[in-house]
Structure 1
Amino acid sequence: MYRFSQGLRLRNVDLIDDGLAASSRTLAKMAKKITEVCCQGLSRLKRRGAMRVGGRHHFVVLDESQFSHKRKYNRGRFGNTWRRIKKWVFGIMEVSRRRRKPILRLVRGRSRRHLLPIIRKYVRPGTAVLSDEWRAYHGVLAQHGYRHFTVCHKRNFINPTTGAHTQHLERAWQTYKCQVWRRRGNRSTKSLKRHLCLIEWHYWLGNRHRGGVLGRLIHDIKRAYK
């Protein structure tokens, strides 16, 4: 629990050598239990309606990225899910001086009917929304009460007129994918959803708790196992 809260991503063989457990199966069960506890804590936050971002004095970044199992040198096996369907992760991030608030949702496509309901559910009206010029956003966000600013990535990374850019979320994708890859979390749809939930838990609950990530983890364990 302490190593999990410190964000250390050690290999099972290293943890076994340190005497944490006698087998990798035990470590896998421990990690699964902790992940389930974190997901339950995040579910309680969603049920209270507290997992919303934006506002009149805040700005939110939108972007999409593909998470899939990649084979090295085109060798090895594909996961059963990823062989047929490539899944996209839609990201919403509120950016402020002190913290980042990501919302990561697995979607089947990047069309307007897939992305717009998620935006309306999690982003408050009146928010300044920054995105690229993907056609799913074009001309529709302003109709729902958002102030929309775009950047054309074919020409530049930062809009020279408005200063709009998506660099905050573009940089975060690399961090998120690294965490998922280290835990082999992109092998199936179920495991990817669980790891995306874990990333959200760290930013929404773990890092904001007065006792730190470990304090929040103990709090959620107490709620899950009364």
Structure 2
Amino acid sequence: MQDGIAKSSRTLSKMARVLRKVCRCAIKRFRRRHGQMIGSGQEFAVLDESNFRHKRKYGRGRASTTWRRKKWVFGMLGVRDKCRHPILRLVIRRSRPHLIPLVVKHVRPGTAIISDEWRAYRGVLANMGYKHFTVNHSQWFVDPHSGAHSQHIERAWLTYKTSVWRLRGNRTEKMLKEHLALIEWTHWLGEKHKQGPLGRLIKDIRHQFPV
């Protein structure tokens, strides 16, 4: 607004909404063409769920009707050295029928998976060909036997939530999906471009709005 690009906050919000749409369409094209898989011999996966639901200030105000069902974000984070590949999906419940199919869809067989001891994972992943390591958070942060911990995704949740809450992106389910797609776009596409996220954004804008 100070540079004169947007003359009002309403215009700025509209511009941001259009750019989020560009990024969301780009990551969808990427999924269709290449799939979105994590895990390999050098990359392990960390699983966790977190609640992004919008909280009313001082408990006042009307809660959005779109938040009556989906409120949990299921995160699958691929970790390899300093690279992070997040896959973030809204789920209705944290139950086995809702989480395990997403793991099968996005995590390669044979991958080392780290999670807490949530019952949805217990005794299932190891029988499906994954190397499953767990950490009991009620006793320790790092498992003393395997060395497994979930600090990678815990730090990621803090970063993601700070970004979403700062932009008020969790007020509705639709907005949250857009912001989660933007996070995925940043790590899967933006950071991989030779000119950085801005270069990738310009490329996707050209694709979305061809001259």
TM-score normalised to structure 2 length? 0.95
User: Is this contact kept in 2: 1:62–1:131, CA < 8 A?
Assistant: yes
SS at match of 2:30: helix
Aligned to 2:12: 27
User: Is this contact kept in 1: 2:113–2:131, CA < 8 A?
Assistant: yes
Q: Distance in 2 between matches of 1:126 and 1:86?
A: 30
Aligned to 2:119: 135
Q: What one-letter code is carried by the residue in structure 2 that aligns with 1:137?
A: Y
| 1:165-200 superposed Cα distances (whole Å, 9 cap, x missing partner) | 111001111111111111111111111101000000
Q: Does 1:125 align with 2:142?
A: no
Q: Distance in 1 between matches of 2:42 and 2:20?
A: 34
Q: Distance in 2 between matches of 1:186 and 1:207?
A: 24
1:70-219 correspondence runs (5 A): 70-82=55-67, 84-85=68-69, 87-219=71-203
Q: What one-letter code is carried by the residue in structure 2 that aligns with 1:140?
A: V
Aligned to 2:24: 39
Change beyond 3 A, Cα 1:113–1:223: same
Shift of 1:29: 1.4
User: Is this contact kept in 1: 2:42–2:80, CA < 8 A?
Assistant: no
| 1:2-40 superposed Cα distances (whole Å, 9 cap, x missing partner) | xxxxxxxxxxxxxx2442211122111111111111111
Shift of 1:78: 2.0
**How much is the aligned-residue C-alpha RMSD, in angstroms?**
1.2
User: Is this contact kept in 2: 1:66–1:86, CA < 8 A?
Assistant: no
Shift of 1:204: 0.5
User: Is this contact kept in 1: 2:70–2:93, CA < 8 A?
Assistant: no
Q: Does 1:53 align with 2:38?
A: yes
SS at match of 2:34: coil
TM-score normalised to structure 1 length? 0.89
Identity value in percent: 58
Runs of 4+ in 1 over 3 A off after TM superposition: none
Gaps of 5+ in 2: none
SS at match of 1:48: helix
Q: Distance in 2 between matches of 1:18 and 1:225?
A: 24
Aligned to 2:54: 69
Q: Distance in 2 between matches of 1:18 and 1:88?
A: 38
User: Is this contact kept in 1: 2:169–2:179, CA < 8 A?
Assistant: yes
Q: Distance in 2 between matches of 1:109 and 1:52?
A: 22
SS at match of 2:94: coil
